[in-house]
Structure 1
Amino acid sequence: MGSLHLDLKDCSNCPIRHRAVCSRCEPDELETLEEIKYYRTYEAGQPILWKGDHMEFVASVVTGIATLSQTMEDGRTQMVGLLLPSDFIGRPGRTEAPFDVTAVSDVTVCCFRRRPFEGLMTTTPHIGQRLLEMTLDELDSAREWMTVLGRKTAREKIASLLVIVARRDASLRKQSPKNGMIFDLPLTRESMADYLGLTLETVSRQISALKKEGIIELEGKRRVIVPDFETLLLETGDDVDGGFIS
């Protein structure tokens, strides 16, 4: 989930190819997409979209992580979602951005000009089918987050976020989460606190407790090692046979 080091002119080199909106496209369909795509990069903290912006493009997150947030009438900002690699920004038929989208880390997005992309939705069934699946997955994830934010303890919230990131990281590597897996946590502790509705002190205390009990190991500030994935799952408060949508 770090910075981009691959040559993406050829879609076959794309690190999200098997998960993105174009994952089921045939070679001729990819050639059509090539004609309307371009890449943009954003530094950590830089806005990608402001709520109400006219949507000139839709896009897939290729590397990095971004947040979806909404500013309330009293000026407070509520983080309402995360965009991880392969997640989609925008909706065909929607001309204005419904949320602020901000890069948390350095982000690269693969953009498609909105109007031509909307045209492809009717002529390229593979794109429409995959986008529908992604939208339904997003809905499931949103429902899960309602449980995370509303009913879980601080420890369960932290463990749940770690599991979500671990599963996505494994998926991008075409693997299943496993014991001893290593991934980079793309959020600062401040961002985790904002997203989970916790204080910075609580986040730091809970992460330290998970580390002290051997549930996770840390290398530096961001690298996480999970000695036993099932043990981490138990800390989420979820049914181990169910869990989060990845």
Structure 2
Amino acid sequence: MNTARKDIHNSDIPAICRACEARHKGICGALTPEQLTKLNKYTKQYSYQSGNELLSAGEDVHRYSNILRGVVKLSKLLADGRQQIVGLQFAPDFMGRPFRDQSNVIADAATDVRVCSFPRSVMEDMIRESPDLEHKLHEQALDELDEARDWMLTLGRKSASEKVASFLFLIASHIDPEIDVHEGSIEFELPLKRSDIADFLGLTIETVSRQITKLRKAGVIQVENNRTVVVPDLERLRSACEIES
């Protein structure tokens, strides 16, 4: 039996790890109780308010983190000051690029964020020692690559309406990855301001607002308090994205 899948109440597992989403669905699910105990000696939890920077581009990397709550915005900056959002990370994603000395992206808290952080050296030693952990990180990296390829298609070929629907579907599917697309409904807070959504999609703020209104009038979504989105039927939203089943 894989020891990393022991009952969460096993006394060998540190108490702080037992109910942690990263422990069950993230990279820590690949660790044995002994490895979790070792890692727990070095971990610290940090909270960041929306808008605060977690990591700067070019900054030396000393720690990696699991996202416990919230959404992290990844951006790149051009020499003339222009900035482009290149990705979003959600709980329980692993945040960091193993075996790279410096960060090549800016990481900001898109919402209020809480992370579990641990020294880079400790995690990289564990990666070398644990094939299961290495496999889990490889799997996340491949998932992010697949998502980046899908997003290239969205930005390069989809209409404005399809781009906005795709963004909303992206958020919905990450807020609750296990929801049944064919039957589910979901409610979530938009993690980005309209200006950031426009930046992410390569659209103007006005176009984003018009397309959200269009989706609302069509009954695909409901919008409350400007930031709360209700999706009554995820399959309809999926269809609005032109995503193949």
Q: TM-score, normalised to structure 1's length? A: 0.88
Take 1:225 and 1:71, find their aligned partners in 2: how far apart are those partners?
Answer: 33
Which residue in 2 is equivalent to 1:139? 145
Take 1:26 and 1:222, find their aligned partners in 2: how far apart are those partners?
Answer: 40
Deviations 1:55-82 (A, max 9, x none): 0101121111121111112221111111
Q: Report whether the alignment pairs 1:213 with 2:223.
A: no
Take 1:63 and 1:131, find their aligned partners in 2: how far apart are those partners?
Answer: 19
Which residue in 1 is equivalent to 2:30? 24
Which structure has greater helix proportion?
2
Take 2:43 and 2:114, find their aligned partners in 1: how far apart are those partners?
Answer: 13
User: Aligned with 2:46: secondary structure?
Assistant: strand
User: What's the RMSD between the two structures over aligned residues?
Assistant: 1.6
Take 1:28 and 1:147, find their aligned partners in 2: how far apart are those partners?
Answer: 43
Which residue in 2 is equivalent to 1:4? none
Give unmatched runs, 5+ long, in structure 2. 1-13
Aligned letter for 1:193? A
Aligned letter for 1:30? L
Q: Report whether the alignment pairs 1:123 with 2:129.
A: yes
Take 1:82 and 1:165, find their aligned partners in 2: how far apart are those partners?
Answer: 9
Q: Report whether the alignment pairs 1:176 with 2:180.
A: yes
User: Aligned with 1:225: secondary structure?
Assistant: strand
Aligned letter for 1:130? K
Would you identify which runs of 4 or more consecutive aligned residues in structure 1 move more than 4 Å?
A: none
- Percent of aligned pairs sharing the same letter: 39
Q: Report whether the alignment pairs 1:49 with 2:30.
A: no
Q: TM-score, normalised to structure 2's length? A: 0.89
Name which structure has the greater RCO, CA cutoff 8 Å, separation 6+.
1
For the structure 1 residues 125 and 36, does the alpha-carbon distance in structure 2 shift closer, same or farther, using more than 3 Å as the test?
Answer: farther
Take 1:57 and 1:107, find their aligned partners in 2: how far apart are those partners?
Answer: 16
CA contact (8 A) 1:170 1:176 kept: no
Which residue in 1 is equivalent to 2:3? none
Which residue in 2 is equivalent to 1:244? none
For the structure 1 residues 107 and 9, does the alpha-carbon distance in structure 2 shift closer, same or farther, using more than 3 Å as the test?
Answer: farther
Which residue in 1 is equivalent to 2:91? 85
CA contact (8 A) 1:66 1:103 kept: yes
For the structure 1 residues 16 and 217, does the alpha-carbon distance in structure 2 shift closer, same or farther, using more than 3 Å as the test?
Answer: farther
Which residue in 2 is equivalent to 1:224? 229
Q: Which residue among 35, 38, 41 is the counterpart of 2:44?
A: 38
Which residue in 2 is equivalent to 1:203? 208
CA contact (8 A) 2:90 2:175 kept: no
State the shift of 1:190 in Å: 1.8
Which residue in 2 is equivalent to 1:193? 198
State the shift of 1:9 in Å: 5.8
Take 2:81 and 2:15, find their aligned partners in 1: how far apart are those partners?
Answer: 41
Take 2:98 and 2:204, find their aligned partners in 1: how far apart are those partners?
Answer: 37
State the shift of 1:200 in Å: 0.9
Q: Which has the larger radius of gyration?
A: 2
